[in-house]
């Protein structure tokens, strides 16, 4: 069965082509620069990262980009908005201020779930945690672990238009000047796959094509060949898709709970995910930067995680699972 057609990136590319002007500059042509190599060279200088998506619970509840930048990390993963909604979106000037010292700033973007409170959300879509008749056809049930998050049919053109269309999610992130995106719920394909069917997981192909379309739209349709694409988790997707094409679209991989694994909010027991490490190794072999986060508060566990992560060539970060504050790093 072929992958389902992805329409939104085609619309974005067509729009860009229609609006593009001609370049008649004269003189000798400059030596071509490989954008992927340039992005990799920039990431090679990063020696620390920071991951926070919401403000401290004892503060005003708003994400503070200035305060996060003051920690001195070489790469920040933050929400595109201080309050998660459209009104609180960081301005181009605020993002540029964080980038002024060379910091790379990535915007968090969930592509496998819809999130209540986002600029695109309509409260009429859901009642008592379930989609109503007013909900779009791509909206499915709530995530039991995160009740304000709803699974989506991510291959549906309606959902992809929210991410890739005019004045849509990616458009807003690009307009604010972020260096790239950090794509979450890439592993949502597993929520749709019938593990008992014995058929190849077409949902994995749909997700890989969606990720590639995001990269292509940012770099080609919007003219940002320097735009960075990171995905969080699901390294095993390489088994079910065109791995070369997928890896070529990416600059890095974020991984959670790789060493200390479990259901606790933090301080899980040591349970090294050996099979996951094998898949992550394929990303490393392809030259991708690996950002590793384990949710730990115990100092001894933190130190052990950092040592294990660095031994694998990963860039480690420890945090509370709520990602609402920065704690001292080992």
| Cβ atoms of residues 217 and 160 within 8 Å | no
Q: Is the pLDDT of residue 195 over 80?
A: no
The DSSP bridge partners found for residue 114 are 150
For 200-232, the pLDDT digits (tens) are 789 999 999 999 999 999 999 999 999 999 999
The two three-digit tokens of residue 204, written as one number: 């994995």
Q: CA-to-CA distance for 287 and 37, rounded, in angstroms? A: 10
| Cβ atoms of residues 112 and 210 within 8 Å | no
Find tokens 């735009």 and name the residue. Answer: 227
For 59-89, the pLDDT digits (tens) are 677 899 999 999 999 999 999 999 999 999 9
E strands, the chain, are 49-51, 75-78, 104-110, 113-115, 126-127, 130-131, 139-143, 146-152, 180-184, 228-232, 252-256, 289-294, 315-318
Q: CA-to-CA distance for 273 and 42, rounded, in angstroms? A: 29
Per mean pLDDT, which range of 56-60, 94-98, 218-222, 286-290 is the poorest? 56-60
Q: CA-to-CA distance for 293 and 258, rounded, in angstroms? A: 8
In the prediction, which pLDDT does 5 show? 54
In the prediction, which pLDDT does 3 show? 52
Q: What is this structure's pTM?
A: 0.91
The two three-digit tokens of residue 46, written as one number: 């990063």
Q: Phi and psi dihedrals of 248, rounded to 5?
A: -65, -25
Helix axes of 157-164 and 202-216: crossing angle, nearest 10 degrees: 30
Which residues lie closer than 8 Å to 308 by C-beta, 6 or more apart? 259, 272
Burial label for 148, CB within 10 Å (0-12, 13-18, 19+), is middle
- Ramachandran region of residue 16, left (φ > 0), alpha (ψ -120 to 50) or beta? alpha
Per mean pLDDT, which range of 32-46, 81-95, 189-203 is the poorest? 189-203
The two three-digit tokens of residue 164, written as one number: 């890739």
| Cβ atoms of residues 235 and 255 within 8 Å | yes
């Amino acid at each position: 069965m072929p992958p389902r057609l992805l329409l939104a990136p085609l619309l974005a590319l067509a729009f860009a082509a229609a609006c593009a002007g001609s370049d008649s500059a004269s003189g000798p042509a400059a030596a071509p620069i490989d954008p992927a190599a340039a992005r990799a060279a920039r990431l090679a200088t990063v020696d620390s990262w920071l991951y926070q998506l919401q403000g401290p619970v004892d503060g005003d509840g708003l994400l503070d980009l200035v305060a996060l930048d003051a920690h001195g990390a070489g790469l920040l993963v933050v929400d595109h908005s201080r309050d998660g909604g459209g009104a609180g979106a960081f301005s181009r000037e605020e993002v540029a201020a964080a980038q002024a010292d060379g910091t790379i700033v990535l915007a968090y973007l969930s592509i496998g779930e819809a999130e209540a409170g986002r600029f695109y959300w309509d409260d009429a879509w859901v009642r008592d945690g379930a989609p109503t008749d007013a909900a779009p056809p791509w909206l499915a049930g709530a995530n039991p672990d995160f009740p304000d998050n709803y699974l989506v049919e991510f291959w549906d053109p309606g959902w992809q238009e929210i991410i890739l269309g005019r004045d849509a999610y990616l458009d807003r992130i690009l307009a604010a000047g972020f260096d790239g995106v950090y794509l979450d719920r890439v592993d949502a394909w597993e929520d749709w796959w019938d593990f008992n069917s014995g058929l190849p997981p077409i949902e994995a192909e749909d997700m890989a094509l969606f990720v590639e379309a995001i990269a292509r739209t940012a770099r080609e349709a919007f003219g940002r060949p320097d735009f960075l694409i990171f995905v969080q988790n699901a390294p095993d997707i390489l088994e079910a898709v065109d791995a070369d094409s997928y890896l070529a679209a990416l600059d890095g991989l974020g991984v959670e709970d790789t060493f200390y694994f479990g259901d606790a909010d933090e301080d899980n027991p040591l349970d090294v995910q050996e099979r996951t490490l094998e898949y992550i190794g394929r990303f490393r072999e392809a030259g991708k930067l690996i950002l590793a986060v384990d949710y730990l508060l115990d100092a001894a566990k933190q130190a052990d995680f950092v040592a294990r992560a660095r031994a694998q060539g990963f860039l480690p970060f420890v945090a509370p699972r709520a990602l609402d504050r920065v704690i001292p790093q080992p």
